[in-house]
Chains A and B, each alone.
Chain A
Amino acid sequence: MGSVLKINLIEKSYGTVKALKGVSFEVPKGCVFGVLGPNGSGKTTLLGILLDVLKADNGDYHWENYSSATDARKHIGSLLETPNFYHYLSAYDNLEITANIKGRGLNDIDNVLKKVNLYERRHSKFNTFSLGMKQRLAIAGALLGSPDILVLDEPTNGLDPVGISEIRELIKQLSTEGITIIMASHLLDEVEKVCTDVAILKLGNLLTSGPVMDVLNDEDWIELNSSNNEALASLLKKHPQVKNIKVDRMIQVSFAKNFSTEDINQYCFENGIVLNHLQKRKRSLESKFMEMTK
């Protein structure tokens, strides 16, 4: 499958602060793409540039399959920030303006209002809405006209647990409908749960990008101990599948392939070493993320 977006060496400064220092990556079509990074890493700036509300100092981006960036944006639904609507207009009237900008018909407005449970309140003015309702109206605006791509900036930020899980379900469901989703998040857990691909940003630099499975590879570590750890370490080093070995108070090994504790026990025993401790440990993604962005 091709890409929907190519980003090439984007740089952006705010005065003396460099927010993005030459970021490049591609977003494959149909994926859920997470832009992951701690606060201040440049995620929101990057999304702002992709939607033309901010201007990059250098570099460029290209939405594939659209005649222009403007045309692409008409097919992108986005939640970039707080809901931006005319306070004195009703939900319906606000979406009518959105539909006109996007060049879509008005018949979709009722649909999206029903989808976000605001249909009953469609004639109420925006300034009578609660925060949650405003957010839902923004989602309705993003879904208007069946977008090909969704761009979401921290979509679960500030929501309660129910709201968070609703949004995650919605993202997963939209993704199965073939919509490409690009979302910024500082929550690793969120990216792990909903994204298929990820780019990790730190202080304006791209650390890595690719499929979540590769980037945030959930490695198993096996912890071993014997009466002679030196001999054990040299034995393990000879094993062709061993990727990493750390000798501490105990020995920690990671393997290139899935490797069971049974296999390793057998290997050691056959080579004359009896283990007195053997335990599988999961290194948490959190610690890997922390390590990457340290």
Chain B
Amino acid sequence: MNLLKIEWLKLKKYPTFWILSGLFTGIFLTLIYGLNQSFIKLGGPSNLLSSSYAFPSIWSNIGYFYSWFIIFLCVYIIISISNEFSYRTNRQHIIDGMNRIDFLHAKALLVISLSLGATVFFILTGLIFGFLNGGGNPFENFEVVGYVFLYALNYLSFAGFLAFFIKRSGLSIILLLAYFAVEGILSSLINGKFDTYIGNLLPLQSSDELLPLNVLKSLTEMTGARPEAPIYLLVGFSIFYIVLYYFILRRKILTTDL
């Protein structure tokens, strides 16, 4: 718990963190409000985005849009880790008596806490809009909340993984964005060429598939276009990658010079 407290001391007076959190929550709420009120439309009079924002479909409907915004938290994780390298506080922590592995665990706890915080925010947003739009059983489709948490955890872990290797925030952020693009193309390529869902099991794609855009999903289902990866595989692979990042970083931090 002390490790988490140390991380809190670093971020509580860090304006960048509060700005990114503000952007994350503010823009997301604005978007959901806009969609809900149909200010934001797609496809002319038959608005493709006019799905229901009542229970139970609200969870998966806002889940997809939510997935866009995790990037803000990814950027914060990258900055938080590369700050340690640029201020050389990673060395100072060890000199002051922190265990090397605890340095990694502190960042892992930060990733978990931010993912939890983001999930709580997601739940609150869903509850508010769900009840505003006529109520119903909020716990139907509630598994989406679990996917949202896993999604955040996977993305933030990947961002942290990148930052531990690159050590500079600017380059890490650019590489993260570049990787989003590359992986998206690669997964479509694999899926299209081999008529399979293997492409959906790539590191970030495995979590992306947990929060699809409903309209698109039903379109593909209607045309029966492509085999889909079962949920348990998507969840399994997402967890597998997170664990993999952890063990690679663990090995790195325990054996190399700082």
CA distance A274 to B83 in the complex (A): 76
Are A52 and B100 within 8 A (Cβ)?
yes
Are A70 and B99 within 8 A (Cβ)?
yes
Count of chain B residues with a beta carbon within 8 Å of a chain A beta carbon: 26
Are B87 and A53 within 8 A (Cβ)?
no
A78-B9 contact, Cβ under 8 Å, with A55-B256, A84-B89 = no
The residues of B that contact A74 with a CB separation of less than 8 Å are 96-97
**Could you say which interface size class chain A belongs to?**
20 to 34
A85, A97, A102 — most chain B CB neighbours (10 Å): A97
Would you call the interface of chain B mostly helix, strand, loop, or mixed? Answer: helix
B193 contacts the other chain (CB 8 A): no
The residues of A that contact B91 with a CB separation of less than 8 Å are 53, 80-81, 84
The residues of A that contact B5 with a CB separation of less than 8 Å are 100
**8 Å CB contacts to B: which residues of A64-107?**
70-76, 78, 80-82, 84-89, 93, 96-98, 100-103
Are A80 and B87 within 8 A (Cβ)?
no
B10 contacts the other chain (CB 8 A): yes
Are A51 and B10 within 8 A (Cβ)?
no
The residues of A that contact B14 with a CB separation of less than 8 Å are 88
Contact of A102 among B96, B99, B257 (CB under 8 A): B96
B94 contacts the other chain (CB 8 A): yes
Are A103 and B97 within 8 A (Cβ)?
yes
A54 contacts the other chain (CB 8 A): yes
**8 Å CB contacts to A: which residues of B74-108?**
83, 87-89, 91-100
Contact of A53 among B9, B10, B258 (CB under 8 A): B258
Q: Closest B residue to A97 by CB, please name it.
A: B9
Cβ of B197 to closest chain A Cβ, rounded Å: 43
Q: Closest B residue to A98 by CB, please name it.
A: B96
Q: Closest A residue to B6 by CB, please name it.
A: A100
**8 Å CB contacts to B: which residues of A29-71?**
48, 51-55, 70-71
The residues of B that contact A75 with a CB separation of less than 8 Å are 97
The residues of B that contact A76 with a CB separation of less than 8 Å are 97
B251 contacts the other chain (CB 8 A): no
The residues of B that contact A52 with a CB separation of less than 8 Å are 94-95, 100
Cβ of B165 to closest chain A Cβ, rounded Å: 18
Are B10 and A73 within 8 A (Cβ)?
no
B2 contacts the other chain (CB 8 A): yes
The residues of A that contact B217 with a CB separation of less than 8 Å are none
The residues of A that contact B258 with a CB separation of less than 8 Å are 53-54
Cβ of A105 to closest chain B Cβ, rounded Å: 13
The residues of B that contact A72 with a CB separation of less than 8 Å are 97
Are B257 and A82 within 8 A (Cβ)?
no
Are B96 and A87 within 8 A (Cβ)?
no
Are A84 and B92 within 8 A (Cβ)?
yes
The residues of A that contact B255 with a CB separation of less than 8 Å are 55
CA distance A52 to B103 in the complex (A): 13
A97-137 near B? 1/0 per residue, CB < 8 Å: 11011110000000000000000000000000000000000
Are A101 and B9 within 8 A (Cβ)?
no
The residues of A that contact B95 with a CB separation of less than 8 Å are 51-53, 73, 78, 80
Cβ of B99 to closest chain A Cβ, rounded Å: 5
CA distance A73 to B93 in the complex (A): 10
Are A86 and B10 within 8 A (Cβ)?
yes
A71-B97 contact, Cβ under 8 Å, with A55-B257, A100-B5 = yes
The residues of B that contact A141 with a CB separation of less than 8 Å are 96
**8 Å CB contacts to A: which residues of B4-26?**
5-6, 9-10, 13-15
CA distance A85 to B91 in the complex (A): 11
CA distance A52 to B96 in the complex (A): 10
Residues of chain A touching chain B, judged by Cβ–Cβ distance below 8 Å, are 48, 51-55, 70-76, 78, 80-82, 84-89, 93, 96-98, 100-103, 141
29 contacting pairs across A/B (C-beta < 8 A): A48-B257, A52-B94, A52-B100, A53-B91, A53-B257, A55-B257, A70-B99, A71-B97, A73-B94, A73-B95, A73-B97, A76-B97, A80-B91, A81-B91, A82-B88, A86-B89, A88-B14, A88-B15, A93-B13, A96-B9, A97-B9, A97-B10, A98-B96, A100-B6, A101-B96, A101-B98, A102-B97, A103-B97, A141-B96
Pairs of residues from A and B, 8 with the lowest C-beta to C-beta distance, nearest first: A74-B97, A84-B92, A73-B97, A84-B88, A101-B96, A53-B258, A54-B257, A53-B91
8 new A-B pairs (CB below 8 Å) besides A51-B94, A84-B89, A96-B9? A52-B94, A53-B94, A70-B99, A74-B96, A85-B92, A86-B10, A88-B13, A102-B96
